[in-house]
Structures are given as C-alpha cells and as structure tokens.
Amino acid sequence: MNDFIAILALSLLTSGLSEALSYALVFRTEQFQRLKAKVTQTEARLDEEKGTAAGSGSGKHRQRRIAGLETQLADARRGASSLQMRTMLVVGLVQAAAIYGVSARFGGRAVATLPFEPFGLVRSLTHRGLPEDSAPAACSATFVFVLGGLAFRAALDRWLQLGLPKGNSLPAWVADPEAVLAGKK
C-alpha cells in the first residue's frame, strides 16, 4: 500500500511539474494571452450572431458573417494549438523520464490488485514490467503511474483553466441530431 501511495504522489508531482512547464513556456506568454482573448471574443460574437433573429439582415449576408467569424475562430484556435505544441516535447520527455524512474524503482513488483482479471490488451498494460508468473489481476507500478498521471493532469487542467475555453467543439450531428436529420429530408 505504501508503494501505491508513493506512486500516486509521484504521479501528482509529475503532473504538477508538467502543468508548471506548460504555464511557463506557453500559457503566460503575451501571444497566447492575445489568442485566448481573441477566441473568447470571437466565440461571444459568434454566439450573438447565431442568436440574433433572422430579420436583422439578409440571410446570405448573415450567413457570410457567421462563416467569417467561424473562420476567425478556427484560425485563432489553430494559432494557440501551434503554441501549445512547443511544450509537448518537453512534457513528453519529463513524463518519459518519470516513467523510467518509476519502472526502475518499482519494477517487477505488483503494487495493486484489480478486482477482476483483465482481458488480453488491458492485461499487457497492467502487467508491464511484471514477471510472467505474476497473478492475472496484478497491477504494475507503471500502469498505476500512467493512470494516475492521466487523472491528475485532467483534474489540474480543469481546476487551473489555463488553456483555451472549450466552447462547443461537438460536431453538429452530435449537438443537434434532429436538426441534421431534418435538413437531410
């Protein structure tokens, strides 16, 4: 149990370090802040334009304005994504080094036991670094570290809210399937 808690603590520490690196290299830069403000402003204008009554202008003119705003929004999001790519390599190296360290320190020992026997693909993930004769429901330190890192990183992203606003990134057929089906008839 102590190994399990130590691995989760390392996972939390590594996730925090990754978020700190992302903040230092991308999120606090003036260029990213400018793009974030543009995304927020363009989303508000787009929502306002889509929400206004059709009588505010001709249909084609209004559709052109909406298309222009959607293009501006896509360009701003693309620019912010290219800035975020800077940190992906650094964060990936930090994560790889941490996984190597965890594997070296806790390799060959089961640190947790699953309440079920996983099927083939999942078993290869849960048994990474464990000997062949280990229990079928055993979990390796690497699996616990990676799973904890995914959970902590998502929680930190949500809590700190450093990145771009999420907006409505759902495809139209998911967001409003009735309207899509009605348009095809």
Q: What is the pLDDT of residues 136-165, one digit of tens each?
A: 889 999 999 999 999 999 899 889 888 877
pLDDT of residue 60: 84
Q: Which of 74, 93, 72 is nearest to 82 (CA)?
A: 74
In eight-state DSSP terms, residue 139 is E
Cα–Cα dist 21/86, whole Å: 10
185: pLDDT strictly greater than 50: no
Cα–Cα dist 46/82, whole Å: 23
Three-state SS at 113? strand
Cα–Cα dist 160/11, whole Å: 17
Residue 185: burial class (beta carbons within 10 Å; 0-12, 13-18, 19+): exposed
174 pLDDT band (50/70/90 cuts)? Answer: low
Question: Is 0.85 topped by the overall pTM?
Answer: no
| Per-residue pLDDT tens digits for 58-113 | 678 888 888 898 999 899 999 988 988 878 888 999 999 999 999 999 888 888 88
